[in-house]
Structure 1
Amino acid sequence: MSATVSFTAPTPHGPQRVTLAYARVGAGEPLILLHGIGHHRQAWDPVVDILATERDVIAVDLPGCGRSPALPDGLPYDLPTVNAVLGAFCAALELDRPHVAGNSLGGLLALELGRENLVRSVTALSPAGFWSEAERRYAFGVLRGMRATAQRLPLSLVERLSRSAAGRTVLTSTIYARPGRRSPEAVVAETLALAHAEGFFETLRAGRSVRFTDDVPGLPVTVAWGSRDRLLVPRQGIRAKHAIPRARLVRLPGCGHVPMNDDPALVARVVLDGSRAQPASALRTSFSTVTL
């Protein structure tokens, strides 16, 4: 069910009234899903129904993305502010330390929520923040190019391209390893979401100095990386493992930067496994992979 909720968030810049859009389905322990920069909550659609068999799934449009309004004037799109908003969102929905899964920017936000002990488990899919400076510059350049293209293309051309697998490849191959699997309607919607995302460049500016170097102790953490990620290259997963030694590091064979569409069954299994109670012996495991 799609809905919006307005609440007061205790941001680093003082209390602010914020509204977020979200969709909620399923039953069980709560699981929040966070998308990447310039995307929207529908990025998770390929896996939501599977996750909802075991979880109360809440897919969120981040501030200024999808159907969520921009942050109030003067609020930066930095990690402390957005995480304060997400913490207040959980409180508004009376979610007591939910599980959280995030992709790209959403993965970084999920790890930050875990570091602050606001959630009970974290699954991060190709999370931002484990890049070298050269890798960050490359990724930000690609993202700026994608945004410019989405804004320049006439809607009629986007719709025409989306009708063929070749056209969907032109529009989305940067983030999907198997773009032909994405539906035409979904490709049009996410191209428009990228073109209209408010706070896009503010988020990039805030991310220039971001490095995730802290451990996330005391809760299960899974970091998963697509083997065909062309935006944040897979070797960044090794850096994530070094920063979070107890994390379960999972390889997603044949998947791109947004893996939910490339292999929904595998991604859903990784998220559900990551949100299940794990014995102490599992948390001590230094490395594990999922292979096909």
Structure 2
Amino acid sequence: MLLTACLPQRRERAVMAAEISFSVETARGSRTLSVTYERRGAGEPLLLLHGIGHHWQAWEPVMGILAADRDVIAVDLPGFGASPALPDGLPYDLATVSTVLDAFCRALGVERPHVAGNSLGGLLALELGREKLVRSVTALSPAGFWSEAERRYAFTTLRAMRVGARSLPLPVIERLSRSAAGRTALVSTIYARPGRRSPEAAVAETRALRGATGFHQTLAAGGGVLFGDDVRDVPVTIAWGTKDRLLLRRQGVRAKYVIPRARLVRLPGCGHVPMSDDPALVARVLLDGSA
């Protein structure tokens, strides 16, 4: 399979988000792939990749800090957020999605950006680093360093979150979001400090989870994934929240064993999605990792 970028077709959307389309060459012929992204700031390019069921807005708490020093590109992965699903015939596996991301960057005129990712996005960031498609990698609680029991636990939890998001009527989600206790019920699995999420953010990410067209295919593709290769010749930072309830922090030790030259960073008091729990700390880790 070969993915090649063509001239981008960029449409401005609300909140400055944009959509870009590029060609996809597969064994079944050429397809058109589109993704939605947000771009801010100036400096060396930094690509931000969210986790499964999330959207680019997961990075909103740190975007302003990062944009002061970086050309920040936060993307909705295919089948998540406002990005359409992958075209028929393209699997949601590591090789395909990392190649799509490389084609996306080339369509933007960006060559070998720094990359930071969270959870699924952290696993994709490491794959991009392994393929030497990026300048540096910062992975926040990356997937792929689990035991089989830990993987089953994480996948069961994610499926339960998805069922919960899809079963709650929108008025109930909106009502829950108005109180700290309600936001805890909605998003405490991934945040250590769910009360810090705004009502609007809690509603938006719950809707993103319930509407993620690539959720089941991504989860199915990840069932047999173990990241077992070193990432050579690319600086790697791996950071883990001390209160991560989805991917337990001992997986960071395994990641350090697999990638011995990686810098392993502890994120005190942070959950699985740490950008909201401690924006200043996470932004500093990302800036140091992409220096």
TM-score (norm 2): 0.93
Asked if 1:230 corresponds to 2:230, the answer is no
Stretches (4+) displaced over 4 A: 10-15
Structure 2 CA distance for aligned equivalents of residues 15 and 263 of structure 1: 43
Secondary structure at 1:48's aligned position in 2? helix
Structure 1 CA distance for aligned equivalents of residues 282 and 214 of structure 2: 28
Offset of residue 13 of structure 1: 6.6
For 1:189-204, list aligned pairs within 5 A.
Answer: 189-204=204-219
For 1:36-185, list aligned pairs within 5 A.
Answer: 36-185=51-200
Change in Cα spacing, 1:41 to 1:247, as seen in structure 2 (3 Å) is: same
Secondary structure at 1:32's aligned position in 2? strand
Range 142-151 or range 78-87, more displaced: 78-87
Change in Cα spacing, 1:129 to 1:71, as seen in structure 2 (3 Å) is: same
Structure 1 CA distance for aligned equivalents of residues 209 and 247 of structure 2: 18
Tell me, yes or no, if the aligned pair for 1:11 and 1:80 is still in contact at 8 Å. Answer: no
Structure 2 CA distance for aligned equivalents of residues 13 and 29 of structure 1: 36
Tell me, yes or no, if the aligned pair for 1:12 and 1:80 is still in contact at 8 Å. Answer: no
Structure 1 CA distance for aligned equivalents of residues 218 and 101 of structure 2: 16
Given the alignment, which residue of 43, 58, 68 partners 1:28? 43
Letter of the 1:54 partner, please give it: D
Tell me, yes or no, if the aligned pair for 1:39 and 1:190 is still in contact at 8 Å. Answer: yes
Letter of the 2:102 partner, please give it: G
Q: Name the residue aligned to 2:7.
A: none
Letter of the 2:139 partner, please give it: A
Change in Cα spacing, 1:12 to 1:44, as seen in structure 2 (3 Å) is: farther
Q: Deviations over 1:55-105 (max 9, x none)?
A: 000000000111101111121111111111101001100111000000000
Q: Name the residue aligned to 1:248.
A: 263
Asked if 1:257 corresponds to 2:257, the answer is no
TM-score (norm 1): 0.93
Change in Cα spacing, 1:15 to 1:114, as seen in structure 2 (3 Å) is: farther
Q: Name the residue aligned to 2:231.
A: 216
Structure 1 CA distance for aligned equivalents of residues 132 and 172 of structure 2: 46
Change in Cα spacing, 1:258 to 1:11, as seen in structure 2 (3 Å) is: farther
Structure 2: tracts of 5 or more residues without a match: 1-15
Offset of residue 15 of structure 1: 4.4
Letter of the 2:61 partner, please give it: P
Secondary structure at 2:96's aligned position in 1? helix
State the Cα RMSD in Å: 1.0
Q: Name the residue aligned to 2:288.
A: 273
Change in Cα spacing, 1:39 to 1:12, as seen in structure 2 (3 Å) is: farther
Secondary structure at 1:161's aligned position in 2? helix
Structure 2 CA distance for aligned equivalents of residues 146 and 91 of structure 1: 34
Range 5-14 or range 26-35, more displaced: 5-14
Q: Deviations over 1:119-166 (max 9, x none)?
A: 000000000000000000000000000000000000000000000000
Tell me, yes or no, if the aligned pair for 1:166 and 1:180 is still in contact at 8 Å. Answer: yes
Letter of the 2:153 partner, please give it: Y
Count of aligned pairs between the two proteins: 276
Range 13-22 or range 217-226, more displaced: 13-22
Identical pairs, percent: 74
Structure 2 CA distance for aligned equivalents of residues 28 and 263 of structure 1: 23
